[in-house]
Chain A
Amino acid sequence: MKRLLLVVLALVPLAGTTTAAPKKYLIAFSQAVMTHPWRVTMNNDMEFYAKKYGVDFIWLDGNDDPATQLNGVKNLLTKKPDLLFASPCKAEPMAPIVQWAKDAKVPLITIDRGLPMEPDGENYLSFVIADLAWQQYDMANILIDKISKKNGKASGGILELMGSIGSSAANDQHRGLQESLKKYPDIKVVASQAGDYDRNTSLRVVENWLKMYPKGSIDGILCANDESALGAIQAVKEAGRTELLGFITGVNGQREGLKAMLDGEMLATNMNGPYWGEASFKAAMDYLQKGIKPAKYIMVLMPSYRADNPNELKRVKEAYDYCVLKNVQYPPINVWVESGKRLGLPITNDIPAVFKQHYGLM
């Protein structure tokens, strides 16, 4: 007993050193804008992972205005964070933050949207991205695949409902579609108009389209996001063009979109974010805690939800039920992954070389 007591007493000083408080990291985040549930979910996810890694997390909203966001970055840098995340609202005006972060000796990682320069791997460590081109490529493939099955061969006409003209997102999505079309020379894009990522505008555009393109002249509609797809679906239903239901794709993986898939109206959707937390924090913490520099471009997993086979539809149902249960707009990625494991469905992205090369990732 006495010996045990002596051993314990001897170990006490050691205990003192091992239980010294581990360094609590401070991570700052400059958000582009908060006026969309996608962004709200993005923030919540970042906070979730900050808590998970036990770091202090501060963030500021850029209000979709470069001047505001630049001020926010200045503000955040004065708090001497260990790392700065940024999702710049616009690339060119936000370029100064690279130098500011370097001067402040704060490593920088951009998320979702980038800057005019590439990450240099020195202070501007990495750009965590979702490739919107690949996203629309996948959606186009799924749509054309279904059209091929219906027509007996890979030929037909599709309508392209684009996003906000001139935005890099819309350009990337268009590029993805073009890439897919290379494989299917008999599929024609009959018309290409801007839906502005907005349900009302899309409703109007599709309503006008359906008058010019009667039954039999088009086989499907490729939409730039779920809101556009929902507008398109409403126009299709009002015009009585039920042959198009189930041949409409969206993007974003929004709850309402998932519901439309369960109702047989929408065919597929793909999630680009907003769950950036996992990849971003892993890169950040690996660097801060272990000194491992992240890759210059980190492509995140972008789950596709599709309704063209019963198992995939089950995956959609699980995701939708999760959203309703937890009252969220977007299902987390792990829901997709876990459903996939259980249902024997793919759980990784198969991103072709042409898209990776765009980011110098090959």
Chain B
Amino acid sequence: MSKQAGMTIAARIKRNYGEMLRQYVIWIILLVLILVSTALSRGVFFTPENLLHLLRQISMVAIVTTGQMFVMLTGGLDLSVGSVVALNSCIAVMAVNANQSGFVVFIIPVLVGTVIGILNGFMVNVLGLVPFVATLAMLIIARGFAFVLTGGSPQYMLPDAIERYGIYGRESIGIVPIPVLIMGVIFCIGYFILHRTMLGQHIYAIGNNEETSALAGIRIARTKYIVYGLCGMFAGLTGLIYSSRLSYGSPAVAGSFNFDSIIPIIMGGASLSGGSGSLSNAIVCVVIMGILTSVMNMLNVSPFIQDGVKGIILLFAIYFVAGKKK
């Protein structure tokens, strides 16, 4: 068009529609991925069975990501989530094998996760440690504790128990797998807290500017205890689901959950220093990463380049979503 106006078409689009595009880039990437995957897999990808399996495959990471979102919105980080998942997968199996009631089996991993989260909050609030350092220490401590508790051995569910405790990981209501339902519930809770409660307002405020928030009367320490506690709680719940899905728990697993929960949040446009970010975007990014993994498996893409492909998509997303904000 008119170069004399001093702008190229691209620049014009960017000026007029830039902000809107940025909000929807993630959804566009998701749509494109679904279309390409369906085409390349000759339709296998876009069947209800496969889509539900995909959601089940990402459900555990999605739950942990929701918890991680709370922490990252305050400008923090929780590197201990993987260890909490592993620890609680062992604890859940031990509780099941010890013939504990369904309620006990559910509540102990959730409580242990919450306590660990609160301990993280303690290190950040009271000891004044930077979240990275505090949760890094907890990563080591929690996993170490898991090894001591189990003597280094994976915990296998006793055969009769497997049938009873498949509910969190292996069963479905109708066609919807239970982990997917749990993920849905957790997402709703997360969304509700962040966008419909004062707590959510406080979380965003603290991430934006902690000093101003404190001056405005927001109780920083209490809010941080809550976000770290929630993150730990969700990780504990995930440990329970993990052990139910695989009928075993192990102190050595779930190491990838740390970065698998942080990457989608950043990819979805959240700021590393907190204060801005969308939970829905983060979960969509979890789905995107899940689709990438699934489809590359199905198409037998060489394992050597799979990480590279994910990295490129991640960079693409970060560039367009996060833009040049920081």
Contact = CB atoms under 8 A, between A and B. Distances in A.
B300 A208 contact: no
Given A35-B252, A193-B303, A212-B44, A204 B293 contact: yes
B61 to A, nearest CB: 11
B261 to A, nearest CB: 15
A194 interface: yes
A329 interface: yes
Interface string A256-290: 10000000000000000000000000000000000
A212 B147 CA distance: 38
A3 interface: no
Contacts of B57: 204, 207
Contact of A193 (B242, B246, B300): B300
A40 interface: yes
Interface stretch (A71-79, A108-116, A195-203, A241-249): A195-203
B153 interface: yes
Contacts, number: 69
B246 A211 contact: no
A40 B298 contact: no
Contact of A36 (B47, B152, B242, B303): B152
Interface in B296-319: 297-300, 303-304, 306
Given A162-B303, A194-B303, A200-B253, A234 B246 contact: yes
A238 B297 CA distance: 18
A217 to B, nearest CB: 13
A211 B44 contact: yes
A286 to B, nearest CB: 31
Nearest to B44: A211
B223 to A, nearest CB: 33
B156 interface: yes
Contacts of B297: 193, 204-205, 208-209
B209 interface: no
A330 to B, nearest CB: 11
B53 A212 contact: no
Nearest to A162: B303
A165 interface: yes
Contacts of B248: 199, 256
A261 to B, nearest CB: 15
Contacts of B299: 212
Given A192-B300, A209-B297, A40 B152 contact: yes
**Contact residue range for chain A?**
20 to 34
A256 B57 CA distance: 23
Interface residues of B, number: 31
B294 interface: yes
Nearest to B297: A208
A36 B252 contact: yes
Nearest to A39: B152
Contacts of B151: 40
A198 B306 CA distance: 17
Given A35-B152, A234-B246, A209 B252 contact: no
A320 to B, nearest CB: 13
Nearest to A166: B304
B41 interface: yes
Contacts of A40: 151-153
A256 B93 CA distance: 15
A231 interface: yes
Contact of A35 (B44, B147, B304): B147
A320 B218 CA distance: 60
A165 B248 CA distance: 24
Interface in B45-77: 47, 49-50, 53, 57
A69 B23 CA distance: 49
Given A40-B153, A211-B44, A256-B156, A165 B294 contact: no
Q: Which of A40, A165, A191, A211 has the most CB of B within 10 A?
A: A211
Interface string A126-167: 000000000000000000000000000000000000100110
B30 to A, nearest CB: 18
B251 interface: yes
B293 A211 contact: no
A190 B49 CA distance: 23
Q: Which of B248, B252, B298 has the most CB of A within 10 A?
A: B298
Given A162-B303, A199-B248, 12 more contacts: A35-B251, A37-B153, A40-B152, A166-B304, A194-B303, A211-B47, A211-B298, A212-B44, A212-B298, A212-B299, A234-B247, A256-B248
Q: What 6 pairs across the A-B complex have the smallest Cβ distances?
A: A208-B297, A194-B303, A191-B300, A40-B152, A37-B153, A165-B303
Interface of A: 34-37, 39-40, 162, 165-166, 190-194, 198-200, 203-205, 207-209, 211-212, 231, 234, 238, 256, 329
8 contacts: A39-B152, A165-B303, A190-B300, A192-B303, A211-B44, A211-B50, A234-B246, A329-B153
Interface of B: 41, 44, 47, 49-50, 53, 57, 147, 151-154, 156, 170, 242, 245-248, 251-253, 293-294, 297-300, 303-304, 306
